[in-house]
Amino acid sequence: MQTYLIMGKFTEKGITNIKETTKRADNFKEISAKMGIHVQQIYWLIGDYDVVIIVDAPDDQAIAALLVRAGAWGNVRTTTFRAFGKKEMDAIISKAVA
């Protein structure tokens, strides 16, 4: 599994319906699980982004499919980053300096 950070900003629709944000998060978790993606954590933020979601997905295609599906709801725009743990980073470094 690969780890991804999904950074989200509410759209006009998303902020207008803010009272539903935790229900939408629960729905996101359910859909993710059905797609083989594990949601580690969801945090709502103060600052440039409104939400960050940390997930583990089997590959880029799985996360892309999830983001297309969630994006179609129209509540949030996302920017997604692939995150590397220490073990993965050690492997990357060993290849880079070999």
| Cα-based distances in Å from 54 to 12, 62, 97 | 23, 14, 30
- pLDDT of the residue at 97: 86
Average pLDDT taken over every residue of the chain = 96
pLDDT per position as a tens digit, 49-70 = 999 999 999 999 999 999 999 9
- pLDDT of the residue at 21: 96
pLDDT per position as a tens digit, 23-32 = 999 999 999 9
Distance CA 42, CA 97 (A): 36
List of residues 6+ apart from 83 with CB closer than 8 A: 3, 4, 5, 54
Q: What does pTM read for this prediction?
A: 0.90
Domain count, the chain: 1
Phi, psi of 15, deg, nearest 5:
-75, -35
Domain span including residue 50 = 2-96
Domain containing residue 48: CATH number: 3.30.70.920
Nearest alpha-carbon partner for 7 in 52, 37, 67, 72: 52
Going by pLDDT thresholds of 50, 70 and 90, the confidence category of residue 84 is very high
Going by pLDDT thresholds of 50, 70 and 90, the confidence category of residue 79 is very high
